[in-house]
Chain A
Amino acid sequence: MASVLGTAVKRREDPRLITGRGRYTDDVQLPGMLYACILRSPHAHARIKRIDVSQAKAAPGVVAVFTGQDLVGRMGTIPTAWLPPDSGIRTTAHPALAVDRVRYVGDGVAMVVAEDRYQARDAVDLIRVEYEVLPAVVDQEEALSEGAPQVHDDAPGNLAFHWKAGNATDEVFAQAEVVVRQRFRQQRLIPNPMEPRSAVADFNASTGELTMWLTSQNPHIHRLLLSGILGIPEHKLRVVAVDVGGGFGAKIACYPDEALVGFAALQLGRPVKWTEDRRENFMATTHGRDMILDVEFAGRRDGTFTAIRVKNIANMGAYLSTAAPGVPTILFGLIVPGPYRIPYAGVDVRGVFTNTTPTDAYRGAGRPEATYLLERMVDLFAREIGMDPVEVRRRNLIPADAFPYNTAMGLQYDSGNYEEALDKALAMLGYEKFREEQEKLRAEGRYLGVGVTTYVEICGLGPSQVAGAVGFQGGLWESATVRVHPSGKVTAFTGTSPHGQGEETTFAQIVSAKLGVPVEDVEVVHGDTHRIAMGWGTYGSRTTPVGGSALAVAADRVVEKAKKIAAHMLEVAEEDVVFADGVFAVQGAPSRRATFQEVALQAYLAWNLPAGVEPALEGSAFYDPTNFVYPFGTHICVVEVLPDTGEVKILRYIAVDDPGPVINPMIAEGQVHGGIVQGIGQALWEGALYDEQGQLVSGTFMDYAMPKARFFPAFETAFTETPSPHTPLGVKGIGETGTIAATPTVVNAVMDALAHLGVRDIDMPLTPERVWRAIRDGRDGA
């Protein structure tokens, strides 16, 4: 039997999703259910002088109205769960509804609970709030300046934390042959999963149990945090998040709104549903990126890189969201040297409070920002010394025989063959030929450009000991249970929580391959804290390398036990039994055999088990990885810039990624496609904008440019497969590679197209207007 690993098994989650039988949170309908609607601050910064809810309370269908004052002492505040060490981090109080001050447009002020959606929404409009508007600060650099409005009284100077790492000194830069300096702005992005956030809470007073359906990437983390906020012990709190409509980081955080829904259900004794509308999603669901990056890059004229250091001013918004402080520090800083031999690296990160929506993880979380500045600097350096950007990369890539490789930032890259991926991608393009064509077309007044990114990312989060050392307030191991039923059918439980990544399929493939049972015989269960002991969820491309590894180990334990039972059945010593393709056979006498299913039945009947073997057949694992995993690859983009309009047309996009052995090539390719589109979205179109008063002016799909189908050609994708030496299946991760690599690839391509005009940099997004101005001026655009 050929292994099911590496094959394009059609997705197991699809039948319900293509027939409208998925069950997303807003689809949950319970008898007697109430609907909640939240009044949000229209001001970026204001003192609440008075709230009058009397009219709202008297409105038709209204059951309750809660304000911040009503919650004081009755409900906990919203915690921050990543505290980078030695950073002086200040976690200011974050009440679920503002008590006396609002700090961003969208900050919750009151919640109405009513008999139906429309009544709740109507009543919100009847709440009268008297505000004293205060000066607001939006830009993080301004927020650090003297005399800036103070977002929190207990965070003077608006400084939330200051974190430094690395070994790059002034001396290294003073002695360098060539130093290139550049400021980059990582614009603020809005994650926009297509499913808005939603929560349904149902309290059963007779059992004391609260059930919450949540749009969550990590239901067990939500259970743990909500348990503390609501005062419900964990064993009485069930969080369900089976069908979740995308997350991209925005459904990691523990938000005030979902906690409020739980609080309301506890108070009112009836089920309560809340679903944000898209406008609320823009205002009150976490944003991503938003960093000001000052970079210094040093090297020699022969093309050798010697040092990189970055000053990062990161906009954290009005409060420190759940995982937010880890993003511009650990997840960003540690990967700054990328796939290159750079002996000296350093980062200096200041996290800053502003009167804006809190930021947190967004697909890639820190790693796209680091990769962007590195790859842009490599191109600027190549231009400075007059060397081809591919050649300069090749000279500095960590060679395949140098792994495991210890970086200047203290990571140990596990494995890699960076040049193989580079060569493969260049061959797919025909790099030399493109350069000739580019020159010819340039003479005709056509501006073509190519961008090449070689990247490595850190993912598979992560070893728990390291998680602790970097200030993450949780473990990052993963749980799995493989339960074999008497018939030999299998239920596989995972503590990860996929929401579109397809692990109901790929995990079934892993278990199927291990046990030698048909893939149809394996059902994967996730997203329910009452069915799965514990888990840390899906983010940071950890699901397959950590959760999949846990399942592999659990399945191995099943085989181990089954082998003992099979040996007993076959009346031979355990060492004489070989297991392959779902059959236990006697070494040298293959006709003496027992199928996996026969062994499973005997395990449950338990009439005649070997001494010391317990009945039943089940394996569990709590798998803690020994290192992160480091997928890598090369992406190439060819663009044409239209000089008359500044429009950027993507002519070709090539992605060669190495996620280790590919379990399901169809699903892996799909992950790459989606990631590329999000990465290109940042390069060319997407950007959240606030005005000076702190109003979000890109607050709808009319104003925030989401990528559409017609913006893209068909992508050309391929894989190389370098196994990780420390995961049981050698797998790494694929969920974020596209987003990490695509943004600099496209921007470098545009800069290459305009190089002959002297344009070095344009702030993202590279809108036609910005590009056109840069062409006109023959200089940097802003």
Chain B
Amino acid sequence: MEGQKVAVRITVNGTVRTAMVEPRTLLVHFLRDGLGLTGTHVGCDTSQCGACTVLLNGEAVKSCTVLAVQADGAEVTTVEGLGSLDALHPVQAGFWEKHGLQCGFCTPGVMMAAVALLKENPNPTEEEIREGLEGVLCRCTGYQNIVRAIQYAAKQLASEAEPSEQVAAAGGDA
């Protein structure tokens, strides 16, 4: 039932947002209905499908299973904060490049899960990517192009990190 509202202060995509919420308000509803950030989707409300995955202090969480009050004081990144059209995050670029989405509904959550996966394991094998997608469901793609998209992103991220390594490697070879 309705409870007394409490204040939360959550940094969402770099902007501090304060609001009064019911203690039972789910983070995903705070994002979608409260802030109008509708890129994060609800596919099951029972934390199986992963469509609602966001980053909470850099870690992938299912925002249908986190209360807004639990995110008080935390930093949340949603798909809207991942990258912009003129500066796509490598994971977004990979999904576009490799046809990693069809209907696009699970995509924001899958991309956020992929960001967390690559942070943990920057150079995953195909098998590790497939294992790493355990927490998300996609009904359209058959996953193969999601795997390719994440492989593409891993390469991009590696080459972004490369220049300094290249210098070191060149020094070593010379």
Whether chain B is bound by chain A comes out as yes
Stretch with Cβ within 8 A of A (4 or more), from B4-12, B68-76, B143-151, B162-170: B143-151
Q: Is A11's CB within 8 Å of the partner chain B?
A: yes
- Write the chain B residue with the least CB distance to A215: B105
Q: Decide if A709 touches B139 in the complex (CB within 8 Å).
A: no
B97-128, CB < 8 A from A: 97, 99, 101-108, 111, 126-127
Residues in A whose Cβ lies below 8 Å from that of B145? 670, 673
A217-258 CB mask vs B (1 if < 8 Å, else 0) is: 000000000000000000000000001111010000000000
Does B78 lie within 8 Å of A18, measured CB to CB?
A: no
* Nearest CB in chain B: distance from A306 CB, A: 37
A674 and B43 contact, CB distance less than 8 A: no
Q: With the chains together, A700 CA to B103 CA distance in Å? A: 22
Please, how many residues of chain B have a CB less than 8 angstroms from a CB on the other chain? Answer: 63
Q: Are A20 and B108 in contact (CB under 8 A)?
A: yes
Q: Kindly supply a per-residue 1/0 record for chain B positions 1-43, scoring 1 wherever the CB is within 8 Å of any chain A CB and 0 otherwise.
A: 1100000000000000000001011000100110011111111
Is B141 at the interface (CB under 8 A from chain A)? yes
CB pair A194 B99 closer than 8 Å: no
B78 cross-chain contacts in A, Cβ below 8 A: 20
**A117–B126 CA distance with the chains assembled, in angstroms:** 41
Contact A122 B46 (CB under 8 A): no
Residues from chain B with a CB closer than 8 A to the CB of A673 are: 141-145
Decide if B133 touches A710 in the complex (CB within 8 Å).
yes
Residues from chain B with a CB closer than 8 A to the CB of A19 are 39, 79-80, 82-85, 88, 92
Cα distance A743–B121 in the bound complex, in angstroms: 35
- Residues of B within 8 Å of A434, CB to CB, are none
Residues of A within 8 A of B134 (CB): 708-710
Residues 54 to 102 of chain B near chain A (Cβ within 8 Å): 78-80, 82-85, 88, 92, 95-97, 99, 101-102
Whether A17 contacts B139 in the complex (CB less than 8 A), given A700-B48, A710-B130, comes out as: no
Known: A667-B99, A701-B49. A17 touches B143 (CB 8 A): no
The residue that B43 contacts in the complex, of A10, A21, A194, A678, with Cβ under 8 A, is A194
Per DSSP, chain B at the interface is loop
> Residue A192 at the B interface, CB < 8 A?
yes
Given known A195-B105, A248-B139, contact A278–B49 (CB-CB < 8 A): yes
Interface centre among A275, A674, A677, by most B CB within 10 Å? A674
Q: A27-B38, A194-B137, A670-B99 are in contact. Are A278 and B84 (CB under 8 A)?
A: no
- Whether A122 pairs with B102 at a CB distance below 8 angstroms is no
Contacting residues, chain B, for A613 (C-beta < 8 A): none
Residues of A within 8 A of B45 (CB): 277-278
Task: Please tell me which one of the listed residues A118, A192, A279 contacts residue B139 in the complex, with CB atoms under 8 A apart.
Answer: A192
Given known contacts A195-B41, A674-B102, is B80 in contact with A20 (CB within 8 Å)?
A: yes
CB distance from B73 to the nearest CB of A (A): 23
- Given A20-B38, A674-B139, A708-B137: A11 and B144 interface contact (C-beta under 8 Å): no
Residue B140 interfacial (CB < 8 Å): yes
Say how far B127's CB is from chain A's closest CB, in angstroms: 8
Partner of A715, one of B84, B139, B144: B144
Interface flag for A269 (CB, 8 Å): no
Q: Determine the chain A residues whose CB is within 8 A of the CB of B2 once the complex forms.
A: 60, 118-119, 122
Q: Are B41 and A666 in contact (CB under 8 A)?
A: no
Highest count of chain A CB atoms <10 Å: which of B29, B44, B127: B44
Instruction: Report the contact-size class of chain A (Cβ under 8 Å from the partner).
Output: 35 or more
Q: How far is the CB of B46 from chain A (nearest CB, A)?
A: 6
Check A666–B99 contact: CB distance below 8 A: yes
Q: In the complex, what residues of A have CB within 8 A of residue B83's CB? A: 19
Question: Least Cβ distance of B154 to chain A in Å?
Answer: 15
Q: Contacting A26 at CB < 8 Å: which of B1, B36, B42?
A: B42
Contacts of A95-144 to chain B: CB distance below 8 A: 116-119, 122
Number of A-B residue pairs having CB atoms within 8 Å of each other in the complex:
189
Main secondary structure of the interface of A (DSSP, over half): loop
B104 A677 Cβ-Cβ under 8 A: no
Partner of B144, one of A23, A192, A248, A714: A714
Do residues A122 and B142 form an inter-chain contact, with CB atoms below 8 A?
no
Considering the chains assembled together, what is the distance between the CA atoms of A556 and B152 in angstroms? 39
Instruction: Tell me the bound Cα distance from A64 to B14 in angstroms.
Output: 40
Q: Choose from A116, A244, A706 the contact partner of B103 (Cβ within 8 Å).
A: A244
| B151 nearest CB across to chain A (Å) | 11
Would A670 and B95 be within 8 Å (CB), given that A19-B79, A122-B2, A278-B43 are in contact? no
Q: Which of A48-56, A347-355, A495-503, A770-778 contacts B (4 or more CB under 8 A)?
A: A495-503
Q: Are B84 and A18 in contact (CB under 8 A)?
A: no
Inter-chain CA distance A526–B34, complex, in Å, is 30
Query: Which residues does chain B contribute within 8 Å of A118, judged by CB atoms?
Result: 2, 22, 24-25
Q: Which residues of chain B come closer than 8 Å to A715, judged between CB atoms?
A: 142, 144
Measured between beta carbons, the chain A residues less than 8 angstroms from B25 are 118
A328 at the B interface (CB under 8 A): no
Chain B residues, CB < 8 A from A20: 37-40, 78-80, 82, 108
In Å, the complex CA distance between A710 and B142 comes to: 11
Is the beta-carbon distance between B144 and A246 smaller than 8 angstroms? no
Contact between chains at A122 and B1 (CB < 8 Å): yes
Give the docked Cα–Cα distance between A118 and B29 (Å).
10
Determine the chain B residues whose CB is within 8 A of the CB of A500 once the complex forms: 102-104, 140
A68 within 8 A of B: no
Would B105 and A246 count as touching, CB distance under 8 A? yes
**Bound Cα distance A13, B43 (Å):** 20
* Contact status B137-A243, CB under 8 Å: no
A706 touches B104 (CB 8 A): no
A29 located at the interface, meaning its Cβ lies under 8 Å from any Cβ of chain B in the complex? yes
Taking the closest CB of chain A, its distance from the CB of B169, in whole angstroms, is 31
Chain A residue numbers with a CB within 8 Å of B129 are 709
Q: Is the CB of A193 within 8 A of B139?
A: yes
Nearest-neighbor residue (CB-CB) of B147 within chain A? A709
Q: A22 in the interface, Cβ–Cβ < 8 Å?
A: yes
Known: A18-B107, A710-B131. A702 touches B140 (CB 8 A): no
Q: Which of A10-38 contact B (CB under 8 A)?
A: 10-11, 13-15, 17-24, 26-27, 29
B138 adjacent to A194 (CB under 8 Å): yes
Report B-chain residues with C-beta under 8 Å of the C-beta of A194. Answer: 41, 43, 49, 51, 103, 105-106, 137-140
Q: Which residue of B lies closest to A675 (CB)?
A: B142
Can you name the residue of chain A whose Cβ is closest to the Cβ of B146? A709
Complex CA–CA separation, A499 to B104 (angstroms) = 9
Q: Mark A677-710, 1 if CB is under 8 A from B, else 0.
A: 1100000000000000000000011100010111
A403 part of interface (Cβ distance < 8 Å):
no
Please measure, in the bound complex, the distance between the C-alpha atom of A60 and the C-alpha atom of B49, giving whole angstroms: 32
Name the A residues within 8 Å of B139 (CB-CB): 192-194, 246, 248, 674, 678, 706
Interface centre among B96, B111, B142, B143 (most CB of A within 10 A): B142
Asked if residues B103 and A246 are in contact (CB atoms below 8 Å), the reply is yes
Q: Is the CB of A246 within 8 A of B48?
A: no
Q: Contact partner of B130 among A119, A676, A702, A709, CB < 8 A?
A: A709
Task: Please state if A24 and B141 are interface contacts (CB–CB under 8 Å).
Answer: no
Residue of A nearest to B106 (CB): A194
* Given A674-B140, A710-B134, A712-B143, A18:B95 Cβ within 8 A: yes
CB under 8 Å from chain B, chain A span 656-678: 666-667, 669-670, 672-678
Closest 10 CB pairs of A and B: A20-B39, A245-B105, A500-B103, A17-B104, A673-B142, A701-B48, A500-B102, A27-B38, A20-B79, A677-B142
Q: List 20 A-B contacts (CB under 8 A).
A: A18-B79, A18-B92, A20-B38, A26-B42, A117-B33, A118-B24, A194-B41, A194-B105, A195-B43, A195-B105, A244-B103, A245-B106, A246-B102, A246-B139, A277-B44, A672-B142, A674-B102, A674-B141, A709-B143, A714-B144
Instruction: Contacts A277-B44, A499-B103 known; list 7 others, CB within 8 Å.
Output: A10-B96, A10-B97, A11-B101, A119-B2, A674-B141, A702-B48, A712-B142
Chain A residues at the B interface, C-beta cutoff of 8 Å: 10-11, 13-15, 17-24, 26-27, 29, 60, 116-119, 122, 192-196, 243-246, 248, 275, 277-279, 499-502, 666-667, 669-670, 672-678, 700-702, 706, 708-710, 712, 714-715, 738
Chain B residues within 8 Å of A, Cβ to Cβ: 1-2, 22, 24-25, 29, 32-33, 36-46, 48-49, 51, 78-80, 82-85, 88, 92, 95-97, 99, 101-108, 111, 126-127, 129-131, 133-134, 136-147
